[in-house]
Every structure is written in C-alpha cells, then in structure tokens.
C-alpha cells in the first residue's frame, strides 16, 4: 500500500493523537475542559484546534494548499501566541506530526517510492512549522505594539489629569 493510502487509513487515529498531543501542552484543568466540552461557543479554542488540525493534516498529506495551511496554522498559532507558551511549545505541535506519523504507520521508509514520499511529506511538515513560527512571531510583534500603544495612552492620560502635559513648540533654527 502507498504511503498516502496508509495515511488515509490511519487518518482519524493520527488526528486524534495529534489533537491529544496539542491539548496535553495545556494545564490539567484546561486539558479536561478542552477534551470534555464539545460546544463551539463554550469551547472555541478546543473547536478551533480540532477543526484546524484536521484541515492541516489533509492539506499536508495530499493537497498542500498553502493558503489553507496558512489559515489553519494562523487560527491555532494566534490562540497559542496570546497564551503563556514558549515559541517552541507554541509551534512545536507541527513538527510532532512527523513523529506521530512514523509511529502510527509503522512502515519501513528506508527505500524506494515510500522513502521518497515520506521525505516529501516531512519537507511539507517542516515548511509548515517554519510558517507557523513566522505567524507566531508576527502575532507576538503585534501584541507588543499594542502594549506600547496602550502604555503610551495611559501615560498621556495621566499627564493630562495631572495637568502636566504641555505642547512642545516647533524648533526653528536661526542661521
């Protein structure tokens, strides 16, 4: 059987283990909630993770539509960027898929067409991991920019209330 056939046969098992792996990065109470609560409105994080991991898996193993991969990664990584994750933990779930696939399909990928297919799949997964890191860095940059703007606004507001804010006149050098 071809690698794609194996990956399609094991799809639900791999996605479930991948989802469990992502959820295991959260604190115990949060893990229980994310696994238990199925309502999209009560648990938007859990739903986003579940839905977008499926899309990612399907795109990585067959279609490789970069736009869909990027959207799904953005949905997951954006959530993880505002939470208390280190960068490696926030995006490491993508690379974990390689290990899960090798473990789940249990195929010797040392030669021939299967080896070439597996190398191509791993390259797509690695490219997705790099894309996830770019998304994470962009989200963090935006968060820091928002914090700077908020701090500036707070200082300005405090200066106005204390009547300490003054306009600085334009400098006109005389030659």
pLDDT in tens, 46-91: 999 999 999 999 999 987 889 999 999 999 999 999 998 999 999 9
Measured CA to CA, the distance from residue 129 to residue 118 in angstroms comes to 16
pLDDT of residue 108: 58
How buried is 99 (Cβ within 10 angstroms: 0-12 exposed, 13-18 middle, 19+ buried)? exposed
Alpha-carbon Rg for the chain, nearest whole angstrom, is 23
pLDDT of residue 155: 87
Mean per-residue pLDDT, 105-118: 73
With tokens 């997964």, the residue in question is: 125
Report yes or no on whether pTM surpasses 0.95.
Answer: no
Of these ranges, 2-6, 132-136, 163-167, the one predicted with the greatest mean pLDDT is 132-136
Summary mean pLDDT of the chain: 89
DSSP state of 171: P
Mean per-residue pLDDT, 150-169: 82
pLDDT bin (cut points 50, 70, 90) of residue 107 is low
């Amino acid at each position: 059987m071809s690698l794609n056939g194996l990956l399609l046969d094991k799809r639900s098992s791999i996605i479930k283990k991948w989802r469990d792996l992502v959820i295991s990065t959260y604190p115990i109470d949060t893990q229980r909630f994310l696994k238990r609560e199925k309502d999209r409105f009560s648990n938007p994080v859990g739903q986003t993770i579940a839905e977008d991991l499926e899309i990612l898996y399907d795109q990585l193993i067959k279609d490789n539509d970069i736009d869909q991969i990027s959207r799904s990664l953005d949905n997951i990584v954006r959530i993880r960027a505002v939470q208390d994750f280190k960068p490696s933990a926030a995006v490491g779930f993508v690379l974990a898929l390689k290990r899960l696939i090798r473990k789940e399909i249990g195929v010797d990928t040392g030669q021939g067409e299967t080896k070439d297919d597996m190398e191509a799949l791993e390259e797509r997964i690695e490219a997705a991991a790099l894309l996830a890191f770019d998304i994470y860095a962009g989200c963090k940059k935006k968060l820091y920019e928002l914090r700077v703007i908020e701090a500036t606004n707070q200082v300005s507001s405090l200066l106005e209330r204390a009547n300490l804010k003054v306009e600085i006149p334009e400098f006109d050098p005389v030659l």
